[in-house]
Structure 1
Amino acid sequence: MSDFRNRPNGNYIFEANWQELYVLTKHWKSDLLFYRDDLKFLDHLIDKYFIWLSKKENIDQVREIEVSLVETDKLCSTLLLQVNKHLSHLAGLMEDPFKYDSHKFRTEHQILEDKLAGFVKTFRDNRKKVFAVTEHVIESEKLEHLIID
């Protein structure tokens, strides 16, 4: 998943010092916290219009995206746990460079980065779908009067 890397290409992970990887990982955590909040917003957006739906087609579309949002939220929570554990290991490595196997740790760092890239791709896809479904539902159910809030 090279379309969302927060680092230079090449061997950066295997050449960067622990502090640089720590800063990069802190950025990942910050991004994940933002995505978690945005997922809550998207879920709220769906919930706001769901109760007004009357067409089965629209109900099915909204349920499908709601399930996808729940799965994405679970993935976000899992990644946050992994990033926090990773930060803890990085802090340990900065204190004692021989605490963990350096090569193994850097490989795990790269795998975690790839998971984050996959998550971001899924998140962005879900976000587009939520807005598309919401727009479709508002138009097809004649719910324009609810947008005033």
Structure 2
Amino acid sequence: MKKENVKIDLSELFEQSDDIKSDMIFFKKDMTFLKHLLDRYFNKIFKIENIDELRECVMRFQDLSFSYTKLVDMLELHRSKLLYAINTGLQKNREILAEEHSHLCCKMRQFTSIYIRTRAEILSITEDVLEKKASRLRVYKSTGLFSYN
């Protein structure tokens, strides 16, 4: 099979990696929120009947955190390779860098998919606790009393 002679623009790949980096920053902040949510309300969401569901959810979240770290490391290494190739005008590794970029994008799609499912699960588990808290805050506000508990 003959390889097509396609021009690979490393600057464009680097810009795309900037977008991925921006997404990863968002995910990190949101994961911090989700972790805080689980930590803050763990005792209130912990019930014997949902212990297995909660344990599995926390394990998935831990796996997600580990995957995040690996993905960020891959991204930073890829960005440094791209930057080096751009700055030195290195031509011979363009195909390898493009393939690596494609692999990184695929990993990012997989991560995003798992992230969305895990986030929805955490929010679903904590929903009752948060609704009760919001209800109490509305009552306190309407009576003129306010509490952060």
Same fold flag (TM > 0.5): yes
1:115 aligns with 2:107: yes
Matches within 5 A, 1:10-29: 15-29=7-21
Q: Deviations over 1:6-62 (max 9, x none)?
A: xxxxxxxx6441111111101111111210111111111112221224521233322
Q: Which residue of 2 aligns with 1:3?
A: none
- Equivalenced residue count is 132
Q: Which residue of 2 aligns with 1:92?
A: 84
Q: Is the 8 A contact 2:46 2:54 kept in 1?
A: no
- SS of match in other structure, 1:51: helix
Matches within 5 A, 1:42-53: 42-53=34-45
Max Rg structure: 2
Q: Is the 8 A contact 2:10 2:94 kept in 1?
A: no
1:144 aligns with 2:132: yes
1:132 Cα deviation from its structure 2 partner? 1.1
Unaligned runs of 5+ in 1: 1-13
Matches within 5 A, 1:36-115: 36-53=28-45, 55-98=47-90, 101-115=93-107
1:98 Cα deviation from its structure 2 partner? 2.5
Q: Which residue of 1 aligns with 2:141?
A: none
After the TM superposition, which parts of structure 1 deviate over 3 Å for at least 4 consecutive aligned residues?
Answer: 145-149
Q: Is the 8 A contact 1:29 1:83 kept in 2?
A: yes
Distance 1:43 1:54 in 2: 15
- Which residue, 115, 118, 122 being the options, matches 1:126? 118
TM-score normalised by the chain length of structure 2:
0.78
Distance 1:95 1:53 in 2: 53
Distance 2:75 2:7 in 1: 20
CA 1:39–1:85 in structure 2 vs 1: closer, same or farther (change >3 Å)?
A: same
Distance 2:83 2:39 in 1: 41
CA 1:94–1:54 in structure 2 vs 1: closer, same or farther (change >3 Å)?
A: closer
Q: Deviations over 1:70-108 (max 9, x none)?
A: 110111111111101111001111122336522122111
Distance 1:66 1:20 in 2: 38
CA 1:127–1:18 in structure 2 vs 1: closer, same or farther (change >3 Å)?
A: same
Distance 2:7 2:120 in 1: 37
TM-score normalised by the chain length of structure 1:
0.78
